[in-house]
Structure 1
């Protein structure tokens, strides 16, 4: 399928090409790193890096703060596939492309998907720099990544009563407790962007039960759940939402706050990997 940008999505071809580059060893987990959060890749041992643009149907990442590459290797004793950067609807890409990395990970046998993002904060208890583990989400993107033909290996009508895995959440809370890192829980609202939300939209989202708001993650989680993958989502609150913030939003400030808080999130993710039983979520392909 092609979109306005001319990009196409062929997850099978991309998965085959990536497997040739990184080897066929099974992965324990895939990590998706959001805006300004790419520092974790420096700690990956025996890493192999593959830019998105070198895979069939994958455009190069065009968003500041998103490196746009896969990094495969070992982190804290676990075999990891790190997705440093992601695609967004606001880039003019079709959802087939936005969610292609999830389908590629699934085709490589990944069963656990840990997604991070930068988000605006609505809950006054959790300001910039806070970490919020996602319990649920609200999609206001008005489009589903599952619309159209059913991909092989995906459910037509996946259950979304618990999109974020309770066992993985327990591991994350144990990791946060061990490190003394505050970890809130909340609901993520997904907007298509790229403009930041208006004050009226934020008031609406607050009444709907949202705690954080951003422009990603939900299409990926929906796709992953359709494939039976287990998901964990964690937001870094990089700014107060419109109407709570006292100054206009700037993407550069979001990236800077993401980098500052990213070090804390990286510590949490490392400990999370230690908390996960070795090989417990590994699938043979």
Structure 2
């Protein structure tokens, strides 16, 4: 048994001690978007540092714990805090939790993030359902020898975000009078926010929002055969010409303000899976 397979099994075996049921849905919560964990019933919280082979998050707004329990009666496993390439983790470390979720029995992955808006129709606090992405990160999570038990050497990426889940989420949003956009997410390395020229470039090539996460996890989820739904909270605008200095504190503030709407959509979507 290869080393990575052994590590995944050891992490999953440890988590199973806390899970009353096999989780159907995995959730990754982005910056300032961790309060969905309060909707998890019968929850058990596991600090990342206690889980064999798990990295430990270092970014403000990321709590650094795994939660198992149920939402609307459906068993879930949720990451309150994710890992980023810019923190110094390898792409394999960044995506390790997705592999562990698959090993636990997860078949659907829900992902949230805070992102900068590049579409002129967007405003701070808007929600964007991700329908596709552009990967501008400098390392690929599937680089290296392929483990065939994980997935194919050349995984198809024609539909990384499940159209059925996008349609359901749009119905949920409409039923609750929550305006949502759809668009393309551009994944970059960070940790710097983008220059004006970079925002313009990424918009020209087809991006509607940009952020420093999500794409690696989605690639590995697609490789593993998981269905994925992802949503961005637009926390700043980079496409406007006026003065636009961005701070992490402002990003967290905007994410916190929009979070109840995102949480409602995630909660109702899980109930319909």
TM over 0.5: yes
1:64 is matched with 60
Q: TM-score, normalised by structure 2?
A: 0.94
1:192-247 Cα shifts (integer Å, max 9, x gaps) = 00011111111110110100000000000000000111101100001112654623
* Separation (CA, whole Å) in 2 of partners of 1:59 and 1:97: 7
* Separation (CA, whole Å) in 1 of partners of 2:8 and 2:201: 36
Please tell me whether the aligned partners of residues 119 and 239 of structure 2 are also in contact (alpha carbons under 8 angstroms).
no
1:280 is matched with none
* Separation (CA, whole Å) in 1 of partners of 2:175 and 2:210: 28
User: What RMSD, in angstroms, separates the aligned Cα atoms of the two structures?
Assistant: 1.7
CA shift at 1:28, angstroms? 2.2
1:47 is matched with 43
**2:192 aligns with one of 173, 184, 195:** 195
Segments of structure 1 that go 5 or more residues without pairing to the other structure are: 2-8, 277-285
Aligned residues: 269
2:183 is matched with 186
* Separation (CA, whole Å) in 1 of partners of 2:138 and 2:55: 23
Please tell me whether the aligned partners of residues 67 and 85 of structure 1 are also in contact (alpha carbons under 8 angstroms).
yes
1:146 is matched with 142
SS at 1:106 equivalent: helix
Q: TM-score, normalised by structure 1?
A: 0.91
Q: Does 1:133 align with 2:133?
A: no
Please tell me whether the aligned partners of residues 41 and 71 of structure 1 are also in contact (alpha carbons under 8 angstroms).
yes
* Separation (CA, whole Å) in 2 of partners of 1:55 and 1:259: 28
Please tell me whether the aligned partners of residues 95 and 220 of structure 2 are also in contact (alpha carbons under 8 angstroms).
yes
Instruction: Report 1:1-285 matches (<5 A).
Output: 10-23=7-20, 25-151=21-147, 152-241=149-238, 244=241, 246-276=243-273
Shift of the 244–78 alpha-carbon distance from structure 1 to 2, 3 Å rule, reads: farther
Please tell me whether the aligned partners of residues 68 and 86 of structure 1 are also in contact (alpha carbons under 8 angstroms).
yes
* Separation (CA, whole Å) in 2 of partners of 1:58 and 1:191: 23
Shift of the 234–244 alpha-carbon distance from structure 1 to 2, 3 Å rule, reads: farther
Please tell me whether the aligned partners of residues 30 and 105 of structure 1 are also in contact (alpha carbons under 8 angstroms).
yes
CA shift at 1:77, angstroms? 2.0
* Separation (CA, whole Å) in 2 of partners of 1:114 and 1:59: 20
